[in-house]
Amino acid sequence: MKNIWIITRMTFREAIRRRIVATGLVLGVCFLIMYSIGFHFIFSQVTKTAAALPSPSPAAVTQVANVEGANTLMLVGLYAVAFLSIAMAALLAADTLSGEISSGTIQTIVTKPIRRSEIVLGKWLGFASLLGLYLLLMGGGTVLSVFIQAAYLPNHLWAGLGLIFFEALIIMTISMACSSTLSALAAGGIVFGLYGLAFIGGWIEQFGAILHNQTAIKVGIVASLIIPSESLWRRAAFEMQTPLAGVLGMSPFGTVSVPSLLMIAYTVVYLLATLIIAIRVFEKRDV
């Protein structure tokens, strides 16, 4: 266990020094500034439009519009945050093993009395810690911006953010498993290809649920079984969307076809199996 924590600290410090992290943080701050400005103008327009509608209870209509508008715009922001976290996860882990093998730096570690499984677990924990901090900055900044400007907080916020973090962990673990046997470029290509499959599969399932097309729903479910990342986002959106948006399906970033708790359990098994594969492949690889 001591060796794992040593590798974890080394991985975390090394990742902080890499330009990709600094670039991601700078672009993340730019995203939060742009999102906050955009939210201000769009939400102000939503409030004005709702107040101008003819209604026997203008205050009630305005309140409902404010809540639904704030929730929809917040989910839009968190959807972007989820994608940025996934990109960060893939880019961080794609080069972590293959890059060190190619450069020969891995030999300075494997020659020490450290098992290869400890190297993989230590690197995984280091990247997971960094992703957690990144998501806390991005997701927390998005939610804070909405709260400051609209006095709105979603339902089950921490459950939603936790599922988004879990989504990033899935991508990071797949990227690390690919990195244990493939080059960084090939690992990145495979990971983003799988994410694209999950993305389109999730939207096919959503439209299938809206149109009551069982075949489309099954296509989406099959895609979720191949890679369950998009299912985690849809469950997170379901947890955080308003009851009205859930019933009417009015938000394009809400969830009509809701992944079950069984699917969430499947993703846990999926993550653990992928991590075990990464360890086994790296143990057998000639470095």
* pLDDT, tens only, 93-151: 887 777 666 665 666 665 566 787 888 898 999 999 999 999 999 999 999 999 999 99
241: Cα separation from own chain's centroid: 17
Query: Which residues have CB under 8 Å from 246's CB, separation 6+?
Result: 238, 254, 255
Q: Which pLDDT value is given to residue 159?
A: 94
Q: Which parts of the chain are beta strand (E)?
A: none
Q: Which pLDDT value is given to residue 140?
A: 94
Collapsing DSSP to helix, strand or coil, 173 comes out as helix
Q: What number is the average pLDDT over the span 270-280?
A: 93
Q: Which pLDDT value is given to residue 119?
A: 85
Cβ atoms within 10 Å of 19's Cβ, excluding its own: 7
Q: Which pLDDT value is given to residue 94?
A: 81
Q: Which pLDDT value is given to residue 74?
A: 94
Collapsing DSSP to helix, strand or coil, 106 comes out as coil
For the chain, the domain total comes to: 1
The whole-angstrom separation of Cα 154 and Cα 162 is 14
Collapsing DSSP to helix, strand or coil, 154 comes out as coil
Q: Which pLDDT value is given to residue 100?
A: 67
246: Cα separation from own chain's centroid: 21
Amino acid letter, 184:
A
The mean pLDDT value of the chain amounts to 85
Q: What number is the average pLDDT over the span 173-180?
A: 89
Tracing tokens 């079950």 back to the chain, one arrives at: 260
pLDDT higher than threshold 70 for residue 249: no
Amino acid letter, 81:
V
Tracing tokens 């409030």 back to the chain, one arrives at: 47
pLDDT higher than threshold 90 for residue 174: yes
Q: Which pLDDT value is given to residue 251?
A: 57
- For residue 95, the enclosing domain spans 2-284
Of the chain, the percentage scoring pLDDT greater than 90 comes to 38
Q: What is the pTM of this model?
A: 0.89
Collapsing DSSP to helix, strand or coil, 153 comes out as coil
pLDDT higher than threshold 80 for residue 59: no
Cβ atoms within 10 Å of 275's Cβ, excluding its own: 20
pLDDT higher than threshold 90 for residue 260: no
Q: Pinpoint the alpha helices (H) of 18-57.
A: 19-52
Query: Which residues have CB under 8 Å from 226's CB, separation 6+?
Result: 194, 197, 198, 201
Per-residue pLDDT tens digits for 181-208? 877 788 888 898 999 999 898 888 888 8
The band of 66, judged by pLDDT with boundaries at 50, 70 and 90, is confident
The whole-angstrom separation of Cα 176 and Cα 94 is 6
Tracing tokens 């040593």 back to the chain, one arrives at: 6
The whole-angstrom separation of Cα 54 and Cα 246 is 25
Cβ atoms within 10 Å of 211's Cβ, excluding its own: 11
User: In terms of pLDDT, which residue wins out, 26 or 21?
Assistant: 26
Name the nearest CA neighbour of 136 among 174, 170, 173, 164: 164
